[in-house]
Each structure stands twice: as structure tokens, then as C-alpha cells.
């Protein structure tokens, strides 16, 4: 409605288009690498302060610098956790998730320096070290995350060959329908092999299969091996059964289609599996952080 | 004896039915002839359950015989019409296709119609037809005949499907439509015709393997050139999956019961065919209408019959109403059905039902005049409107606006997007030709037009226009302007002449006056270049210079035997200047990226102009130096980074193939960065009523650069071409958007070559995000699954399916949500000029 009002306004003024980011830059180098520069500077300043400022009796979280680093670290952690919300709340404002991710990654890495120096290298079996450990788990999984983000998209794109995931699954379903048809005239033993492919094939498979990419025990692979052996035997004995040869052809095509879909699913799993540690560990970290701060103020 | 009626109404759509109902309620002797076995075939063929819309809302309904019509389900409307037709005892004859109409009276002196028929090879033949006075004899397809004093032609624009011409083509197992592909099982089916309709039918029939149909698609050509890319891909995928067979280069030769014989490239093939579905396009009804003695306004494809203010055609006593008269909305059709019978019955003072709408349009203008006065004033004052009839003026005005602009006020600003054309009815406007100095202006007097550059090129306004005195202007929408140019060829020529002069002034600036340009304009020719065709070839002689009016060009050069992409040239620029200046052969090849219109200016005339205007020469030299620098840069790169330059050329060509050459703003995804999180799609859905307007995975990819299925905001949007309520517009920031008047007919979806429009219902609102995060309520971010939407839909409230497409997030402060929401920077939305530059060369470097 509001729109109609604009277009029917008596004069048409050049409405300024909302400014937008048209730079073709990835998140690691967003704004010509602004955030890695900021994070690096932050780490250097913090390290210099640690080396230069006298902390007696010994460096730990209790000195003035320790309090400072602790506050900085806690605020950083809180802000880093907010990425999960920012990603999901689509507002009309002029934010850029790429900028957020860029800052997230680089400032998150600088936490290694901030958090560790805050501890003054005093580790033990207590809630404080637990918080530090959880923080390192989050950071290290994040580091793994950017490694896969940097390497896998190209493979994902190359494997897809302009086919979408629904199309991949559809192609497999269509081959199943053909297999079902082609199996009608077969004897019970051969038909059982086709059923093996139809009923015992799990496209995605277990998490282990997704990440490892090994599906040799899967229904279609077993059916294919058996039918291939059978056709080979018949060929040596003279003339192979044409109907079985057709089944072999379809099973081979299905295997190829499965391989593509599985590579796709595997790559997508690897692109997000780490988040299943990164995010829960974040929650654990927030809890440990709360415990750490409370205990510090209660018992110090 | 042949039955004789006062009025014969042909076609029982909303227009014809309303006319018949009115005739019946007035007690006039009438007959309603309908080709099919039911009323209103066009609406009958809508999708089952379609929500039919009653736009425009302001228009009062004045249906004949009080035939009811309100927005609602297709079934409800058709049911109510059937009931009303029975109540009124309308004299309907079903299965009565009229094949010819001829006067049986004396020959009307001097009334001869010339009918031009064009053949495929481009030649044309003219036949002459002597008109005869009424009563008219109507010949029916079954050989029957009917006599009528007056005829109302309300046959719509659907036309007749092209028939199988081979022997046996009229067999029982040949059909021309497919209502429900789920109906057929276990059949051998041949679909003839590789256009969108044929492909969609074939895919539908083969979609469910459980139906076990054996489907073959037959196409005359070797390629599917008229079908949409998405359809062709789906077809080829279905073939590769073994669900469909395709026979190309093949035509049917003979149809026998249960069989079909085909001519294939490898000879004759006879195959089992339980059913043959022929989808070879349809012939518009124009041929039939012309043969009745009815003249059209022009030879243009968009033209409608010439009509008087009472809908009478050039054949006296034959009237045309409804979609065939150029009014495609049901309400208009029904009103005209009523009005035309009133006119025939002698009521000549009836005011058309759209009168209040037109009154409202003129209400804001000074001087109290009637609508008819205003229309006549517009027509007689604005030069390009001169050739219009009063009825055409009414229709024209429905899509246009009249406005009063006080002296000094701005009409539009430079760089605003806009494709409407303005006519000056009274007063004068001033064009601010120099953006740096608004004091330099050129006046335009009453009677002339402006805004034509936006109309022709689809690009932004080139100059700010300000009212020089108090003015009355008429703003003609793009749709109305195109109709005008096709209805009144003289108006088309006038617009072309003006655009040529003005675009020369605008492109070359240098203070050129129309007088300076007169000589060169005399040599100007407008030419159309097909996509991919070369306008200029490297190494050839020639010194004509070209101005690109619409479309765009790519410039390429042979380097080390391979064509290398140099530059992208949008509409509103010129090419070919180097040869004029340095006299050498063409230094590069210029090829149309999409179908383009260019103005060719003769080199000799242009050189004369250069001699007279040294400023112009200096300007051209400066431009040329820029272009040469670019060429040299790329040539230098080519030596050191051959692979890079090849990649650059490859990417540029790929993007041009993907229609980027006609885009103003296109979504690209760098698949080296895309992690497949689909946050872009989710953001799109969440910022637009819960429906995503983009399909990230679908679409083509080259060198990891992906063009997803998402609107390109074309310079000349194909989707706009045939929207009955004119619901598609270009918005103030350049976006092509669909407003709330959409009736859900799906024309735009069929028209868009990039398959980016979807027809869907707005899903119910999702629970608040936090309640999902904390308690798992609702489906979470992104488009809700269909099942969820269905379950949570408000019961009893019908939500119509409407056309849904990208609006570039106009009005949202951060720009497109898809881009904002991409965590890695893979998604960018850019204009081709922004992207198809040397900057692309750097992309391959990492
Ligand atoms: C999918 C779709 C959805 C639409 N949705 C809407 C909507 O929601 N709201 C809206 O206002 N408009 C809508 N429209 C537009 C509207 O349906 C048409 O413009 C309107 O039906 C035209 O009416 P008409 O009476 O001029 O012709 P038609 O409705 O086309 O009727 C012509 C009739 O003439 C018959 N006929 C043709 N030739 C002959 C012959 N030689 N002899 C005898 N009979 C003949 C035909 O069989 C047909 O029954 C839609 C259009 C389409 C295609
Ligand atoms: C203590 C520090 C950190 C915290 C608390 C934290 C927290 C989070 C959270 C909550 C998310 C949102 C995940 C989601 O909702 O999908 C996230 C995403 C992410 N984090 Fe961290 N993170 C930390 C450090 C890091 C570091 C050091 C890196 C990289 C080196 C990193 C890389 C990422 C990436 C790449 C994403 C995914 C972005 C996306 O795809 O949307 N994080 N992090
Ligand atoms: S919907 Fe299609 S035709 Fe219309 S502007 Fe977008 S891409 Fe172009
Ligand atoms: S926007 Fe599309 S679907 Fe809607 S009325 Fe226009 S053409 Fe039809």
C-alpha cells in the first residue's frame, strides 16, 4: 500500500537506493581485512600490557590488569555468542552478517590471547580452568570451521554440477522405479537382489558414513556386486541374460547417482558438523563463565 | 429455413454472457453461440479451485441481466452463471463454433478491406474483401447457418490450438489439451510440440512412475528454442532418468487408430500411441476476425480491432467486446457486454461504467470540464495522441494519469528509474541538460513529449525535468505507450524520431541543437540486432556509428586467435566511433548480448558533424582514449596471464548467456564461498510474508560463479508484457515488483524466461522467533513447510494464489536481505556494469 503511494506521488524524485555492500570479498577479508587487523592489534596491545605492567605478587585474574582482561574477555564471549541470534533475526536494518562473521572469527581468535593471559597460566582442576578449556574448545572448533569453510565450498560446487539436492534425490527415486519394473520378470533369487537395492539402500547413511564416505556394505553396493558377479559368470558361460544385464546397467547408474548425492550430503555435513560442538560448547561456556564469575566474587 | 435473430452473440465468456443476459432480460431475439460444451471456456479452463479476482475495485459492476460476479472460487462463479443463464432463459447453443461471418445485403460501396497475411519466410500477401450490408450469415463448424441483424463478437483472445495437419489428425485419440495429467495410466502417449506447454504436459504425464505411462515428446526442431530454460533442463533430466523419450527433428506423418507414424531424421518410424496430445501453440483469432471484414489498428501483434465509441467495428453491425477489444479483466468484459446491447438497442447516451474512474483522474485539474472534453483536449493537443479514436482514448486514459504541475516544480529527477512517457497538454517544461549546472535548460512546448528514453531503453532518466510554467501533463504508463505506438503507427514513428534526436543530444552533449543534427538524423536508421549477432566485425571496413537504443552489447577482440571479452556496453551508449575518427578498419567485434535496437548513423554525415563541431570531436577522442586504454590493458595481461584472461572471457560470456545483458540487477553466488546454509533463502522468506523469492541451488554455474533462480529486474521485463490488471511496475529504486492487484493468472510466470516467478499463497504468520528458540514453537526461520502452513491456516478464509517475485527488498534500509544475511559474502547483488568490468579479472587471481 505504502508503495502505491510512492509511485502515484505527483512528482518522481530520485529515491536513493539503500546503500549496500557490492564488494566481492569473502568474510575473512571483509573490508580489506579490517577485522584481522583489529584483532591482531588487540592481541599485541594485550600482550605488551601483560609483559610490561608489573603484576604483583604474580599475574592472575585478580590483579588490575587481570580484572581488565577478564572483563574484556567476558564481553567478547557474550558478543560472540550473539552471532547465533543475529543470524536468525532478519531485520530490515542495514546489518551485514558477513561483517559480523568476519569480526566474530578474528575477535574470537584474539580471545586465545586475552583469555589465556587473563588466567596468568594458572591452571588447575577447578571451574576457572573449566571455563578456559571450554573457551578453547569453542575456539578450536571455530578454527576448524573456517578451514572447512575455506576448502569445501569449491568441492560442493564442483560435485553438484548444476544439479540441486532435490533433483539428486528425485533421480534416485526414478531409477528405483525402473529397477522395480525391470525386476518383474526375474526369478526369485535375482529379484531378491534388486529388492536389496530397493529396500536396504540408505542414501545418507549414518553420521560415520557421511563423514567417512564409505558405503560398501550398503544395499545397492551389495546388490551391484552380486549382480555384476552373476552377469560375469553368465558371460563366461556363454550368453548373459539380457534382463539381468539391464538390471546391472540400472544398478550401476544408481550407484553413480548415489555417489553424487552422498558426496553432496557428506560435504554439507562436514560444513556444519563442527557447529554441533561449537554451539553446545558455547552454552556450556556461558554457564561455566557465570559460575566462574560468581565464585570469584563469592570466595575471593 | 435459417433462423434469424436480432442479435447473435459469439462466445460465452464474461463479455458474451453478460451481453446475452442483457438481451434476454430486455426480451430481444438473440442467440448465444459457444464453441465448447459449456459456458465461458477461458474461465472453465482455469486451474480447479482458482480464486478469481474482481479487479479493479473502484469499477462498479454493471453486468447484463444482473449476472452476478464477485471475487471467489472458479466453481462458484461458473455455477452462478449457469444458474443465471437458465433463469433468464438465455438462448444458448453449445458446440456451435462460428467459422465465418458474411453480410448478405448489398455490397457496401467503397468498403473494401485489405488483409495482409505474413508467411513464415517473411513474405506477405494481400487479399481484398468487399464488405456487404447486414443481415449477417453466420456459418457454423457443423455446417449449420444462422442469420442475424447485428453480431456481437466476444471470442476472447485465446484463439484456436494449431491442429495436426497430417492425415488422421482428427482421430479420436488426438487431443489438444490436457486438464489432469494424473488421469491417465498405463498408456503410450505422444506429446507433439516442444514448447513450454508440451514439455510441461509431458513431464506431468511422466511425473509419477506409478502411472506407468510411456511418454514420448516429439519436437520439430533439433533444439527446444522456444521453451524456458528451466523446462528444458527438467525435460532433459527426465530423459536421462529414463522417464521420457525425446524425438527431435521429427514430425508426425500419419495417425492411425492406436498408432502414430513419424518422420524422423533416420527415416520413418511407426509406434504405438494410445493417446496423442498436440501442443503446437495456438493461432490468435485475428485471422478469423479479419475475414469477417473487421480491420485492426495496425499490423502489430499487440493491435486490437478498430472500434467506434459504441464498440462497432469497420463492418457495420458487427461489435467487438471483451478481451478481444483490449479489455482483459472480467469486470470490464461484463460491463461492456451490458453496454453494447444498450447501444444496439438504441440507447446512445449511456455513459460507460468507467466514467467515475476517469472523472477521478481529471478531478485535480484546473478548469471544470467533462471527461469527454478532457479526452478530446488531450487528443487534439498532444501530437502523438492525434490518431486515436474516442474509445481508444478512454482505454488509454485508464492506464494513464493527468496531472497539474505548478511552475518550478520538478516532474522527475535525473537518475530516477521510470519508463512512463509524458505528453505536455498545456504549458511548457524545462529540461536541465547539464547536471552540473541546473541553470542550463532546454524548453519543451505544449504538444510535445518527454520521458521517451526511459520508455525505450528501460534505463534511468537522463535529465531532470521541471515545469517552466503551470502545466498540465499526461503521464502515459509503459503499457499504454506501447499499445499506443502499435495502435497508431504514426505515433510510433514520431516517438522514434524524437528519441533519435534526443539520444544524440544526450549522448554526445557538446551543446548540439536539433538543427546541428538535422543532417545526420536524415541518415539515421533504426535496426534490430538479434541476440548474439555481430553489429560490427573486427577487421572489416565501415565507418557507421551506432547508438544502442535498447538491449546491450559486448565488445570482443581476437587475441592470439581467440576472442577475448573486452567490455560490456549498455543501452544509451554508442559504438563504432573509432573507425570514424582514425579511419582504420574496425578494431573489435561488437555483438548483441540480447536482442537490441540500434540507430545507425552514416559515417560520412557524422564526419561532417565532427568537422563542424570540434568540441564533439574532442569528446569522442577522450572516450576513445579510455576504451583504447582498456583494450591495451587486457592485451598486456593476456601475454602474462593467459589463463586469467580466458577465464575472464569465459565468465563474461557465461553471464551474458544467462541474460545478464538485459538485467539491471542480478544475484550472483560465488560458490567458492557458499557453504550451502541457505540463510539467503531464509532471509528472503522472513522479510517477505514467509515466501522465498529465490531458489539458491537452481540455476547455472560457471567457474564456481552461480546465477541462482532469482529476478534480474530486466530492462524490459518480459513478465510485464501481458498482465491483465497491469499489476507489474518498476519501482522508484529500479526494482520490478508486483502490486496487490495481481489476479493470479500466471501470465507473468509463463512470460519470464528465467523462471523466477512462483504462484503461491501467503502462509500464516509464524510464532515469534524467541518462542521458537526457547520453546521450539513453530517452524523456525525461513519458509515454513507446506504441511505446517496448511495445518495452521485460518479455517474458512480463502487465500488466493498470487504471483510472487523478488522486489529487491525495496524500502528496507540495508538493501537485499539475501545479501545481508549471507555469512560468508558469497551472495552479491550487482548491476552488470558493476560486475562485467576488468575487476572480474582479479577474481581468478586467488
Ligand atoms: C489463468 C487466467 C486467470 C485469470 N484470472 C482472472 C481473474 O482472476 N480476474 C479477472 O478479472 N480476469 C482474469 N483473467 C482474464 C479473463 O479471464 C479474461 O480476460 C476474460 O475471460 C475474457 O473474457 P471474454 O468474454 O472477452 O472472452 P473469453 O472468456 O475468452 O471467452 C470467449 C468464449 O468464446 C468462445 N469462442 C471462441 N471462438 C469462438 C467461435 N469461433 N465460435 C463460438 N465461440 C467461440 C470460447 O470458447 C470462449 O468460451 C484470467 C485469465 C487467465 C488466462
Ligand atoms: C569463545 C568464542 C566463541 C563463541 C562464544 C562462539 C559462538 C558462536 C555461536 C553462538 C555461533 C552461531 C552458530 C549458529 O547459530 O549457527 C558461532 C558461529 C560461528 N563461529 Fe563462533 N564462537 C567463538 C569463537 C569462534 C572462533 C575463534 C571462530 C573462528 C576461528 C569461530 C567461527 C565461527 C564460524 C565460522 C561460525 C559460523 C558462522 C555462520 O555460518 O553463520 N567462532 N559461533
Ligand atoms: S520476473 Fe523475469 S522477466 Fe520479470 S524482470 Fe524478473 S527476470 Fe525479468
Ligand atoms: S502479476 Fe502475474 S499473475 Fe498477477 S495478474 Fe499480473 S500477470 Fe497475472
Cell 575471593 -> residue: A300
Taking residue A229's Cβ as centre, other Cβ atoms within 10 Å add up to 10
| Cross-strand partners of B305 | B296
pLDDT band per the 50, 70, 90 thresholds, residue A7: very low
Spatial neighbors of B177 by CB under 8 A, at least 6 apart, are B45, B161, B277
Contact B725 CB / ligand 4 (< 6 Å): yes
- Kindly list the residues from chain A whose CB atom is less than 8 angstroms away from the CB atom of residue B811: 2-3
- Residue B799, burial from CB neighbour count under 10 angstroms (0-12, 13-18, 19+): middle
- Confirm or reject: Cβ of B756 under 6 Å from ligand 3: yes
Supply φ then ψ for residue B392, to 5 degrees: -60, -40
Beta-strand relationship, B267-272 and B259-264: antiparallel
Which of A24, A152, A171 comes nearest B828 by C-beta?
Answer: A24
The average pLDDT across B308-331 equals 92
Ligand 3 atom 5 nearest Cα: B713
pLDDT at res. B16 = 97
ipTM above threshold 0.85: yes
Q: Is the CB of B712 under 6 A from ligand 3?
A: yes
Whether the pLDDT of residue B737 is over 70: the answer is yes
Considering only residues 177 to 206 of chain A, which have any Cβ-Cβ distance to chain B shorter than 8 Å? Answer: 177-178, 181
B398 prior amide bond cis, ω within 30 = no
Beta bridge partners of B475: B401, B422
Pick B698's closest partner by Cβ from A87, A97, A164.
Answer: A164
Q: Give yes or no for residue B635 having a pLDDT over 90.
A: no
How many Å lie between the alpha carbon of B743 and the closest alpha carbon of chain A?
Answer: 16
Which of B209, B706, B739 shows the shortest C-beta gap to A4? B739
Contact list in B for residue A172 (CB cut-off 8 A) is none
End-to-end CA distance of chain B: 87
Whole-number Å distance between alpha carbons of B818 and B688: 11
The pLDDT of residue B841 = 64
- Give the ligand whose atoms come closest to the C-alpha of residue B664: 3
Q: At B267, phi and psi to the nearest 5?
A: 105, -175
Alpha-carbon gap, residue B321 to B335, rounded angstroms? 9
Q: With 60 as the cut, is the pLDDT of residue A16 above it?
A: no
Q: How many CB atoms lie within 10 A of CB B385?
A: 24
Searching chain A, which residue's CA lies closest to the CA of residue B208? A174
Give whichever of B305-309, B449-453, B471-475, B524-528 has the largest mean pLDDT: B471-475
Q: Which helix (H) or strand (E) holds B556?
A: strand B553-559
Contact assessment for residue B36 and residue B94, using Cβ atoms and an 8 Å cutoff: yes
Report CB contact under 8 Å: A13, B410.
yes
Question: Which pLDDT tens digit goes with each residue over A56-87?
Answer: 777 777 788 999 999 999 999 999 999 999 99
- Cis peptide, bond prior to residue A57, ω within 30 of zero: yes
Residue that wins the pLDDT comparison between B253 and B661:
B253
* Cis ω before B56 (30° cut-off from 0): yes
Instruction: Kindly state the DSSP code that residue B60 receives in the 8-state scheme.
Output: P
Is A272 close to B677, i.e. CB distance below 8 A?
A: yes
Q: What is the pLDDT of residues B348-379, one digit of tens each?
A: 888 888 888 899 999 888 888 899 899 999 99
Q: Which residues are CB-contacts of B89 (< 8 A; sequence separation ≥ 6)?
A: B24
B689 touches A at CB < 8 Å: no
Decide: B9 in ligand 1 pocket, CB within 6 A: no
Q: What is the dihedral of CA A45, A51, A56, A57, to 10 degrees?
A: 120
B774 touches chain A (CB under 8 A): no
Backbone dihedral angles phi then psi of residue B217, each to the nearest 5 degrees: -105, 130
- pLDDT at residue B257 is higher than 70: yes
**Would you state the pLDDT for residue B81?**
97
Q: For residue B510, what pLDDT band results from cuts at 50, 70 and 90?
A: low
pTM score, two decimals?
0.81
Report whether B460 contacts B417 (CB < 8 A).
yes
The pLDDT > 70 percentage for chain B reads 98
Sheet containing strand B449-450, edge to edge, reads B400-405, B471-476, B421-426, B449-450
> Residue B512: is its pLDDT beyond 90?
no
Distances (CA, A) of A43 to A115, A273, B130: 11, 29, 94
Least confident of A147-151, A264-268, B750-754: B750-754
Instruction: Please report the atom of ligand 1 found closest to the CA of residue B724.
Output: 15
Helices B14-26 and B74-87 pack at an angle, to 10 degrees, of 20
Report residue B554: phi and psi, to 5°: -120, 145
How many whole angstroms from B724 Cα to the centroid of ligand 4?
7
Which helix (DSSP H) or strand (DSSP E) does residue A160 occupy? helix A127-160
Query: B39, B85 in Cβ contact below 8 A?
Result: yes
Give, using CA atoms, the residue closest to atom 48 of ligand 1: B41
Asked if the C-beta of B123 comes within 8 angstroms of chain A's C-beta atoms, the answer is no
Residues with CB under 6 A from ligand 2: A 77, 80-81, 83-84, 87, 101, 104-105, 108-109, 111, 135, 138-139, 142-143, 145-146, 149, 275, 278-279, 282, 285; B 677, 823
B200-249 pLDDT, tens per residue?
Answer: 899 989 888 778 889 999 998 888 877 777 788 888 888 887 789 999 88
pLDDT band at B838 (very low <50, low <70, confident <90, very high): low
CA nearest neighbour of B2 among B154, B153, B139, B151: B139
Closest protein CA for atom 2 of ligand 3 = B752
Kindly state the percentage of chain B with pLDDT values over 90: 41
In A, minimum Cα distance to B683 occurs at A90
Task: Give B 442-501 residues with CB within 8 A of chain A.
Answer: none
What's the whole-number mean pLDDT along residues B775-784?
87
Q: Which residue has the higher pLDDT, B57 or A296?
A: A296
Residue A13 in this model has a pLDDT that exceeds 60:
no
Q: Which three cell numbers stand for residue A10?
A: 505527483
Count CB-CB contacts under 10 A for residue A214: 12
Q: Which one, of B445, B449, B398, lies nearest residue B423 by Cα?
A: B449
Compute the distance between CA of residue B325 and CA of residue B335 in angstroms, rounded to an integer. 13
Q: What is the mean pLDDT of chain B?
A: 88
Helices A188-199, A242-273: inter-axial angle, 10-degree rounding: 20
pLDDT band for position A10 (50/70/90)? very low
* Ligand 4 centroid distance, CA of B333 (Å): 18
pLDDT at B842: 61
CA separation, residue A69 to residues A83, A111, A286 (Å): 22, 10, 17
Mutate which of A2, A6, A16, A18 to disrupt the B interface (most B C-beta within 10 Å)? Answer: A18
Q: ∠ CA B19-B25-B31 to the nearest 5 degrees?
A: 50
Amino acid at each position: 500500500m505504502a508503495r502505491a503511494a510512492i509511485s502515484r506521488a505527483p512528482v518522481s524524485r530520485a529515491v536513493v537506493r539503500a546503500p549496500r555492500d557490492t564488494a566481492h570479498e569473502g568474510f575473512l577479508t571483509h573490508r580489506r581485512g579490517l577485522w584481522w587487523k583489529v584483532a591482531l592489534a588487540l592481541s599485541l596491545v594485550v600482550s605488551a600490557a601483560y609483559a610490561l605492567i608489573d603484576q604483583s605478587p604474580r599475574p592472575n585474574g585478580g590483579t588490575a590488569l587481570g580484572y581488565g582482561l577478564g572483563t574484556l574477555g567476558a564481553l567478547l564471549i557474550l558478543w560472540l555468542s550473539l552471532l547465533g541470534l543475529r543470524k536468525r533475526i532478519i531485520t530490515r536494518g542495514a546489518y551485514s552478517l558477513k561483517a559480523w562473521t568476519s569480526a566474530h572469527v578474528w575477535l574470537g581468535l584474539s580471545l586465545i590471547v586475552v583469555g589465556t593471559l587473563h588466567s596468568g597460566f594458572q591452571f588447575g582442576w577447578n571451574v576457572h580452568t573449566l571455563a578456559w578449556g571450554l573457551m578453547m574448545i569453542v575456539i578450536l572448533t571455530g578454527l576448524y570451521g573456517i578451514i572447512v569453510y575455506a576448502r569445501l565450498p569449491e568441492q560442493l560446487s564442483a560435485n553438484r554440477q548444476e544439479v540441486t539436492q532435490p533433483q539428486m534425490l528425485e533421480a534416485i527415486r526414478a531409477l528405483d522405479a525402473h529397477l522395480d519394473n525391470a525386476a518383474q520378470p526375474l526369478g526369485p533369487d535375482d529379484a531378491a537382489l534388486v529388492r536389496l537395492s530397493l529396500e536396504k539402500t540408505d542414501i545418507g547413511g549414518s553420521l560415520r558414513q557421511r563423514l567417512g564416505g564409505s558405503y560398501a556394505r550398503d544395499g545397492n553396493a551389495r546388490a551391484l556386486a552380486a549382480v555384476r558377479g552373476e552377469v560375469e559368470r553368465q558371460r563366461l558361460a556363454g550368453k548373459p541374460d539380457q534382463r539381468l544385464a539391464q538390471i546391472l546397467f540400472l544398478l550401476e547408474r544408481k550407484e553413480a547417482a548415489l555417489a553424487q548425492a552422498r558426496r553432496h550430503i557428506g560435504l554439507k555435513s562436514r560444513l556444519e558438523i563442527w557447529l554441533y560442538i561449537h554451539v553446545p560448547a558455547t552454552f556450556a561456556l556461558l554457564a561455566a563463565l557465570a559460575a566462574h564469575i560468581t565464585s570469584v566474587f563469592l570466595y575471593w | 429455413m435459417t433462423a434469424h435473430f436480432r442479435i447473435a452473440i459469439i462466445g460465452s465468456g464474461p463479455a458474451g454472457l453478460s451481453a446475452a443476459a442483457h438481451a434476454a432480460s430486455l426480451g430481444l431475439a438473440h442467440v448465444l453461440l459457444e464453441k465448447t460444451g459449456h459456458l465461458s471456456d477461458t474461465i472453465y479452463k482455469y486451474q480447479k479451485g482458482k480464486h478469481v479476482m474482481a479487479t479493479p475495485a473502484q469499477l462498479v459492476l454493471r453486468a447484463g441481466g444482473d449476472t452476478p460476479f464477485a471475487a471467489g472460487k472458479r466453481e462458484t462463479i461458473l455455477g452462478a452463471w449457469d444458474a443465471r443463464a437458465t433463469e433468464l432463459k438465455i438462448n444458448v447453443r453449445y458446440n456451435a463454433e462460428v467459422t465465418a461471418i458474411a453480410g448478405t445485403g448489398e455490397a457496401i460501396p467503397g468498403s473494401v478491406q485489405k488483409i495482409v497475411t505474413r508467411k513464415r519466410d517473411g513474405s506477405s500477401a494481400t487479399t481484398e474483401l468487399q464488405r456487404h450490408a447486414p443481415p449477417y450469415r453466420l456459418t457454423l463448424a457443423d455446417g449449420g447457418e444462422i442469420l442475424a441483424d447485428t453480431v456481437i463478437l466476444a471470442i476472447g483472445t485465446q484463439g484456436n490450438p494449431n491442429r495436426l495437419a497430417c492425415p488422421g489428425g482428427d482421430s479420436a485419440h488426438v487431443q489438444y489439451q490436457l486438464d489432469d495429467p494424473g488421469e491417465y495410466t498405463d498408456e503410450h502417449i505422444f506429446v507433439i510440440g516442444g514448447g513450454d506447454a508440451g514439455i510441461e504436459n509431458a513431464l506431468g504425464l511422466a511425473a509419477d512412475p506409478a502411472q506407468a505411462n510411456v511418454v514420448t515428446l516429439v519436437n520439430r526442431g533439433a533444439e527446444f528454442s522456444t521453451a524456458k530454460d528451466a523446462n528444458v533442463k527438467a525435460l532433459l533430466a527426465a530423459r536421462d532418468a529414463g522417464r521420457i523419450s525425446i524425438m527431435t527433428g521429427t514430425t508426425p506423418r500419419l495417425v492411425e487408430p492406436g498408432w502414430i507414424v513419424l518422420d524422423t531424421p533416420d527415416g520413418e518410424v511407426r509406434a504405438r500411441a494410445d493417446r496423442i496430445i498436440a501442443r503446437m501453440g495456438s493461432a490468435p483469432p485475428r485471422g478469423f476476425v479479419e475475414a469477417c471484414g473487421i480491420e485492426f489498428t495496425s499490423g502489430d501483434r499487440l493491435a486490437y480491432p478498430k472500434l467506434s465509441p459504441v464498440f462497432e467495428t469497420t463492418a457495420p453491425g458487427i461489435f467487438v467486446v471483451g478481451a478481444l477489444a483490449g479489455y482483459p479483466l472480467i469486470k470490464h468484459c461484463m460491463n461492456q457486454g451490458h453496454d453494447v446491447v444498450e447501444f444496439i438497442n438504441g440507447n446512445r447516451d449511456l455513459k460507460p461504467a468507467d466514467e467515475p474512474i476517469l472523472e477521478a483522474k481529471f478531478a485535480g485539474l484546473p478548469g471544470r470540464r467533462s471527461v469527454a472534453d478532457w479526452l478530446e483536449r488531450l487528443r487534439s493537443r498532444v501530437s502523438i495522441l492525434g490518431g486515436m479514436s474516442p474509445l481508444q482514448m478512454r482505454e488509454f486514459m485508464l492506464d494513464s494519469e493527468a496531472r497539474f504541475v505548478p511552475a518550478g516544480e520538478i516532474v522527475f529527477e535525473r537518475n530516477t528509474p521510470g519508463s512512463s512517457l509524458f505528453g505536455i497538454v498545456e504549458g511548457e517544461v524545462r529540461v536541465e541538460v547539464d547536471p552540473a549546472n541546473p541553470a542550463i535548460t532546454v524548453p519543451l512546448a505544449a504538444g510535445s513529449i518527454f520521458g521517451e528514453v526511459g520508455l525505450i531503453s528501460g534505463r534511468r532518466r537522463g535529465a531532470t525535468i521541471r515545469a517552466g510554467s503551470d502545466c498540465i501533463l499526461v503521464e502515459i504508463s509503459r503499457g499504454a505507450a506501447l499499445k499506443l505506438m502499435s495502435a497508431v503507427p504514426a505515433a510510433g514513428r514520431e516517438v522514434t524520431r524524437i528519441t533519435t534526436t534526443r539520444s544524440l543530444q544526450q549522448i554526445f552533449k557538446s551543446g548540439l541543437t536539433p538543427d546541428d543534427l538535422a543532417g545526420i538524423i536524415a541518415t539515421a536508421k533504426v535496426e534490430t540486432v538479434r541476440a548474439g549477432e555481430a553489429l560490427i566485425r573486427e577487421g572489416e571496413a565501415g565507418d557507421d556509428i551506432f547508438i544502442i537504443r535498447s538491449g546491450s552489447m559486448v565488445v570482443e577482440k581476437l587475441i592470439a586467435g581467440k576472442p577475448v571479452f573486452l567490455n560490456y556496453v549498455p543501452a544509451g551508449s554508442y559504438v563504432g566511433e573509432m573507425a570514424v575518427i582514425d579511419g582504420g578498419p574496425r578494431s573489435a567485434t561488437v555483438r548483441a548480448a540480447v536482442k537490441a535496437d540500434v540507430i545507425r548513423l552514416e559515417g560520412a554525415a557524422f564526419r561532417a558533424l565532427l568537422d563542424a563541431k570540434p568540441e564533439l570531436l574532442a569528446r569522442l577522442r577522450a572516450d576513445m582514449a579510455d576504451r583504447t586504454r582498456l583494450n591495451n590493458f587486457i592485451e598486456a595481461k593476456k601475454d602474462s596471464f593467459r589463463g586469467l584472461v580466458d577465464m575472464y572471457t569465459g565468465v563474461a560470456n557465461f553471464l551474458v548467456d544467462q541474460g545478464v545483458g538485459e538485467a539491471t540487477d542480478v544475484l550472483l553466488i560465488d560458490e567458492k564461498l557458499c557453504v550451502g546454509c541457505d540463510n539467503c533463502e531464509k532471509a528472503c522468506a522472513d522479510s517477505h510474508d514467509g515466501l522465498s523469492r529465490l531458489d539458491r541451488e537452481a540455476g547455472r554455474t560457471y567457474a564456481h560463479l552461480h546465477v541462482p533462480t532469482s529476478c534480474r529486474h530486466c530492462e524490459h521485463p518480459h513478465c510485464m508484457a501481458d498482465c491483465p490488471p497491469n499489476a507489474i511496475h518498476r519501482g522508484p529504486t529500479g526494482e520490478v515488483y508486483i502490486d496487490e492487484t495481481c489476479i493470479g493468472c500466471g501470465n507473468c510466470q509463463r512470460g519470464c524466461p528465467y523462471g523466477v516467478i512462483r504462484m503461491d499463497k501467503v502462509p500464516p504468520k509464524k510464532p515469534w522467533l524467541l518462542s521458537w528458540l526457547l520453546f521450539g514453537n513453530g517452524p523456525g526461520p525461513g519458509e515454513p513447510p507446506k504441511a505446517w502452513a496448511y495445518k495452521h491456516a485460518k479455517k474458512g478464509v480463502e487465500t488466493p494464489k498470487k504471483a510472487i517475485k523478488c522486489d529487491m527488498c525495496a524500502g528496507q534500509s540495508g538493501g537485499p536481505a539475501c545479501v545481508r544475511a549471507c555469512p560468508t559474502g558469497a551472495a552479491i547483488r550487482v548491476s552488470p556494469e558493476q560486475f562485467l568490468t576488468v575487476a572480474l579479472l582479479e577474481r581468478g587471481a586467488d
